Amino acid sequence: MRSGVQFAGIFLSANLFCLLKLCLGEDPYVYFDWRVSYITASPLGVQQQVIAINGQFPGPILNVTTNWNVLVNVKNDLDEPLLLTWSGVQQRKNSWQDGVSGTNCPIPAGWNWTYEFQVKDQIGSFLYFPSLNFQRAAGGFGGITINNRVIIPLPFTTPDGDITLLIGDWYTKSHKELRKELEAGNDFGVPDGVLFNGLGPYRYDESLVPENIAYLTVNVEPGKTYRLRVSNVGISTSLNFRIQNHNLVLAETEGSYTMQQDYTDMDIHVGQSYSFLVTMDQNASSDYYIVASPRFVNSSAWAKATGVAVLHYSNSQGPASGPLPDPPNEFDPSYSMNQARSIRWNVTASAARPNPQGSFKYGQITVTDVFVIVNSPAELINGKWRTTLNGISYFTPSTPLKLAQQYNVPGIYKVDFPNRPMNRPAKIDTSLINGTYKGFVEIIFQNNGTTVQSYHLDGYAFFVVGMDYGIWTENSRATYNKWDGVARCTTHVFPGAWTAILVSLDNAGIWNLRAENLDSWYLGQEIYMTVVNPEIDKSEVPLPDNIIYCGALSSLQKDQSQRFDFSSAHQVSHVGRIELVALLMTVLQIVMRTKT
């Protein structure tokens, strides 16, 4: 009997020690249980199937704080495989959680999988979405807010409210129909609309907006200042964001606090996120329009594809009416270019931020590798419509690259992506960039197409140091901003132009570099970069216990017999930590007395 008590005491002591360590630590755990499924919705007045999370479209905001550990148990109730990617979360030394085809086997229909990652040394506004099979065109997306730790001050007065706005182009065709259109070489044409948080436009014009469309109303109090986090979650359309009669003070973009400059509007390209401080300083004679309208289009047919929400003061004297606030001149290509160049990093802000090679002075670091990456629009390769980067259209193997690397599976990929376009026919291949660990890399994106393209790099924040129209040359470096170029994870390239970034490869793993424009991405505009630490690094996260196997490693996979539900799990936070520690110490003392 005594040995049983001793065993129980040891067991309880070990578990209490783990809980005690968790409570005393500075990095709490938060748990989420998400069911991803189809629901029926009518954002533009036409019933269609959309992807929801826990019945919500868009999905819930993932609201966490710097260094928190996040566990998201995802149940796939779709009729096809699923992965969620956490766009902008750097997954420090943990590309196992990145949620893209090169790092993870898809979650089969009917299965669940738990993501576990830390938002290490990050703040800011980001987004998540499904990364496979064009599913983002049907929803499944949501905002990510990473707050400063309490001890780290904001570089501005604490806002009176925090509001997330997800804007994006939208089609009433299903994502399955849209991807068939792409595969057949067809253009999507003008979107059916632009949504605000999954809702259609306010009826500002009876000839353009049908009746009975549900629209978004943002309720505010006069005289207060709000932080608006705005992300473009659409398929391929750049959008101009503006609020009637209100000034936008840019405060942050994708994890970097910016110099607080005033804008009347902001071009937000696919996959990009911005934070604005907006003060409610108008007389509220009526409600005000919030507008997201397509950019870089000149057809009158695009007028129907304008997203309109309503800003409603509590003392408003009537509904919004009259014409929408004017967009920028579509025939002035310099407007958006100069606006993008004007965004500057706040180099004095106190917050988690990139610190390449121990120096915030990125412009003084020696570049170790240069890649000039040139895109090409869709063309027929081996009878299939494909897009390319440096003449290579990415082929997705059935075995994820990260798993193949872990198990030394031969023949899955090659590490031979060219650092410049080669004079050879375009091809479909699985070719990776060989990134030098702790190297400092210059990447130039050259856009030879006719539309704005956005590019995103997982695992890192990079410095946007230059952009211009024309062809990049070695002399273009003379125009680089080597002091306060903003650090972010998604940049854009204007048609017939280039954009240059610098990135410190201090995060070991396999990382996805992709076009955020879904049509370009789906047809092959993506690459993976392998960054291997040549030394044994015990801090690099090992293969997860719950890994899903597929492809050449399918035989290692066991059937999933049950799903784990966090919905009733205890969440330890800073609140009440002292009381919980005291309780644990009391229980531990009782256990020790029992043992003696």
pLDDT digits (tens, 9 = 90+) for 65-104: 999 999 999 999 999 999 999 999 999 999 999 999 999 9
| Alpha carbon 404 to chain centroid, angstroms | 25
- Quick check: 223 pLDDT over 50? yes
DSSP 200: B
Residue-level pLDDT at 26: 67
Cα(81)–Cα(110) distance, rounded to whole angstroms? Answer: 9
Query: Do the beta carbons of residue 151 and residue 214 sit within 8 Å?
Result: no
Residue-level pLDDT at 352: 74
Residue-level pLDDT at 351: 77
Cα(461)–Cα(345) distance, rounded to whole angstroms? Answer: 12
Mean residue pLDDT of the chain comes to: 90
- Quick check: 113 pLDDT over 50? yes
Q: In what helix (H) or strand (E) does residue 31 lie, and over which residues does it extend?
A: strand 29-41
CA angle 172, 235, 133 (to 5 degrees): 85
Query: Do the beta carbons of residue 99 and residue 87 sit within 8 Å?
Result: no
| Alpha carbon 296 to chain centroid, angstroms | 23
Q: What is the mean pLDDT of residues 334-341?
A: 96
Indicate the SS3 state at residue 401: helix
Burial (CB count within 10 angstroms: exposed 0-12, middle 13-18, buried 19+), residue 301: exposed
User: In 10 A of CB 29, how many CB atoms?
Assistant: 17
Q: How confident is the model at residue 304 (pLDDT cuts 50, 70, 90)?
A: confident
Residue-level pLDDT at 25: 55
**Could you read off the pLDDT of 501-529 as tens digits, one per residue?**
999 999 999 999 999 999 999 999 999 99
Indicate the SS3 state at residue 62: strand
**Could you read off the pLDDT of 10-60 as tens digits, one per residue?**
334 444 444 444 444 569 999 999 999 999 999 999 999 999 999 999 999
Burial (CB count within 10 angstroms: exposed 0-12, middle 13-18, buried 19+), residue 359: exposed
Residue-level pLDDT at 453: 98
The pTM for the full model equals 0.91
**Quick one: what percent of the chain has pLDDT higher than 70?**
89
DSSP 46: S
DSSP 56: B
